[in-house]
Amino acid sequence: MSALCPIFDPIVDALLPVPWLKGGRDYSGTDCVGLVLLYGRARGLAMPDVDTPERRSPAPAEAAALLRPVPASLRDCPEHAILFRDKSGRLMHVGVVTPGGKVLHCCYGGTRVEVSLKLLARVGLRAAGVVPLSNFAALSVVLATATLGEIGTIILIVIAVISLAASVFLRPSLPKQGSTRGRYGFDALVTQNTPEVPLADVLGQVMLAGNSVYQTLMDKAQSVTDPKLQKACKIVVFCAGPIDGFGLGEYELRINGLSADNNYFFAPVTTPGDGFAINPAQTKAEAVTGTISGESNRPSITLYDAAPAITVPVDVRAQYFREFPVWGLNGCAYAVFRLVDSQKYSSFNVITRIKGRYCRTYTEDGLDVTTVTSESLTGADGSKVRFKLAHHDVVAVSSLTVAGVSQTEMSASNQTGAVYALNRTKGYVEFVTAPASGATVTISYTYYPRAWTANPADHIAYLLTETMRGKGFDGSRLDWPSFADARSYFAESVETLTDTGPITSARYTTNYALDARKPIQDHVKALLDSSRSLLLISDGLLKLKPVRTTASVFSFTTANIVADTFEATLMDRSDRANRVRVMFHDADIFNSEGEVVADDVADQADRVDRAGNDGVVDEALKFPAVTDRAMATRLAQDLLAESVGLDWTGQLTTTLIGLALEPGDIVDITHPSQPTWSAKLVRIDDLSTDADGRMVVRWSEVA
């Protein structure tokens, strides 16, 4: 977008200085309709006469019927009027498509040229359709729509600047390398043995040390010939919330550094397989004796993935009692270890890979909601009061009947009679009075569907909207089109040249665990770091914006830069890294500390006489949400290119002409103080307003 049209059209250039004037129809001042009329007449077309808004006759349906679809490229519809709707669907604004495929229009702040429709969309205007300027009959009807140029649109465009660029996280500041202790630090994974350690909420695939909150101590003085005394239970809790599974295979467990299937723990004689038995089918008596397929005294492991349920997955005490009172842990992913030979467990250190984040699904229109029109709840026996729904994360119940009698949800003022209590999170209903035996219980409701995902956009949306473990923002607070766009961008396949050869994989994935001891902001920031993204407040909504190089959305020239405010500074290269080390949790080595290094050999050679250390300027960064080596390599290469290639930074001041810009936008600058620049691409780092209400734009070169 530019005050000087990039195609240097003399008609466009003559119209750009025309100021906004409600109802204006000439070069002294015009509104959006008047500008279209002026443009057409300058092209030699016999444009119709259109009254000012107060005298127009509204004909929205008739106007909409005359609109043609907006083509994929505006270059395909030059010399067309293009109409825009607001969020309520009203036709509110009109412009004209120039021969270069750009949009010339007039709004409060003056006449301007849009490079794309992106900035208009940010202020609530969506393209509704086009009409050829040569179709005078259709054009006269469309331009007579009473709402075109309505003052509400202008107010909307003006007030957008108040809320559009307050950044929550601007260009994330990555943590430097250092000692970080704790369950998710880079130190050795050591089993925690205190019940005070809070449970983690898993956000992806990660290697965790099990925290043995509940355990029986082994008597190391006893002989293994006494099986009852030597058996012991350990409950290792991995996280709160459901998970997609344990490991890539059922034996991806490590006890004291050895795989769970190692015959050091047990070498069966009559049954196939070695080591711990995984998820064996056992009675209580068989569990006590360690009997599996006729083999006695065999250690075993049972894994629980915390699938939502109204009761615990299993009563561990009743099923696996060994002089040890332990109950099942509802809503937690955990493992029950039944051990035999204490001499083989002088210490008990467990690591496993737990996978998944069960996130609500969404589209660019918002969170998905699925309707269940009629579901029968079985098991009414005259005493049962709680009934599990087929789905959890319930939005609302539209109807609930028992034996044909309608029930209402319990509230502070509705406590007796035909009432029920609804647990939306786990998905069950509970009645004050148990339905009679054989009674038909039918419910209709809506719920949020969920799916397992490793996409950072999904995880960030989860952290922002989750009520129990996240920020708890209502879904209406998120700019869902930006999250859907970022999700698609993150999922694109890209090739990365690693030290083992080229690898093709999704651009960004996340394998991360949420440590309840840290604030949610830390976890959001780690996810933003891992996906090189910004989180902005734009037009009052939280917007996810990847840092990427795109086409320019705005052109800065002397026509829209306030005089004497342009600054461009050549950055000092002395402290800019030409070697970037990325520290990450390497899944290939069970999430122990991994490192990838990216070097700019040419830059190092250029600085060898000035910087010392063979010209190497080193920077190490940590990415706790990254476990994939190819992704870590790609991040290292991108950050190195940015560090070495970023020469210029600066700022400028502009007027309302650029009010729809956001941090992260790519714009271009042409300025006489830099004669070698011609539409130089830069990225907006920050936006603010000065004492005079003008916009101050801080920018840096696109590397």
26: helix, coil or strand? strand
Mean pLDDT of 98-124: 83
Q: If you count them, how many residues does the chain have? A: 703
SS (H, E, C) 422-454: EECCCCEEEECCCCCCCCCEEEEEEECCEEECC
When mean pLDDT is compared across 183-187, 378-382, 473-477, 669-673, the lowest value belongs to: 183-187
Shortest CA distance to 460 belongs to which of 505, 518, 506, 510? 510
Distance between CA atoms of residues 389 and 15, nearest Å: 64
Question: pLDDT over 90 for what percent of the chain?
Answer: 30
Each residue's pLDDT tens digit, 530-553: 899 988 887 778 899 998 888 898
**By CB neighbour count within 10 A (0-12 exposed, 13-18 middle, 19+ buried), where does 547 fall?**
middle
79: helix, coil or strand? coil
Which two structure tokens, joined as six digits, stand for 173?
């500041």
Q: Which residue matches tokens 């030290």? A: 499
Each residue's pLDDT tens digit, 119-148: 888 777 889 999 999 998 888 888 888 788
When mean pLDDT is compared across 192-201, 326-335, 504-513, 630-639, the lowest value belongs to: 192-201
In CATH, what number does 10-163 get? 3.90.1720.10
Which two structure tokens, joined as six digits, stand for 613?
């250390």
When mean pLDDT is compared across 48-52, 180-184, 460-464, 537-541, the lowest value belongs to: 180-184
Which two structure tokens, joined as six digits, stand for 671?
């300025």
Residue 287 CA, chain-centre distance (Å), reads 44
353: helix, coil or strand? strand
Domain parsing of the chain, residue ranges = 10-163, 206-355, 369-448, 555-701
* DSSP tag of 292: B
Alpha-helix residue ranges (DSSP H) falling in 599-683: 601-606, 608-611, 629-645
Shortest CA distance to 174 belongs to which of 597, 487, 533, 592? 533
Which two structure tokens, joined as six digits, stand for 264?
């050091």
Q: Inform me whether the pLDDT recorded for 677 exceeds 80.
A: yes
Mean pLDDT comparison of 293-307, 509-523, 559-573, highest-scoring range: 559-573
Each residue's pLDDT tens digit, 383-421: 999 998 999 889 999 999 999 999 999 998 888 889 999
Task: Find all residues with CB under 8 Å of 263, minimum gap 6, and list them.
Answer: 274, 275
| Helices 136-143 + 32-42 axis angle, to 10 | 160
Angle at 624 between CA 699 and CA 305, to 5 degrees: 135
Q: Inform me whether the pLDDT recorded for 379 exceeds 80.
A: yes
| Confidence at 204, pLDDT banded by 50, 70, 90 | very low
When mean pLDDT is compared across 12-26, 315-329, 404-418, 513-527, the lowest value belongs to: 315-329
Which two structure tokens, joined as six digits, stand for 382?
């005259």
Structure pTM?
Answer: 0.73
Distance between CA atoms of residues 429 and 630, nearest Å: 47
| Confidence at 221, pLDDT banded by 50, 70, 90 | low
Distance between CA atoms of residues 206 and 246, nearest Å: 10
Mean pLDDT comparison of 277-291, 421-435, 589-603, highest-scoring range: 421-435
The DSSP H or E segment spanning 666 is strand 666-669
**By CB neighbour count within 10 A (0-12 exposed, 13-18 middle, 19+ buried), where does 681 fall?**
middle
Which two structure tokens, joined as six digits, stand for 153?
């649109």
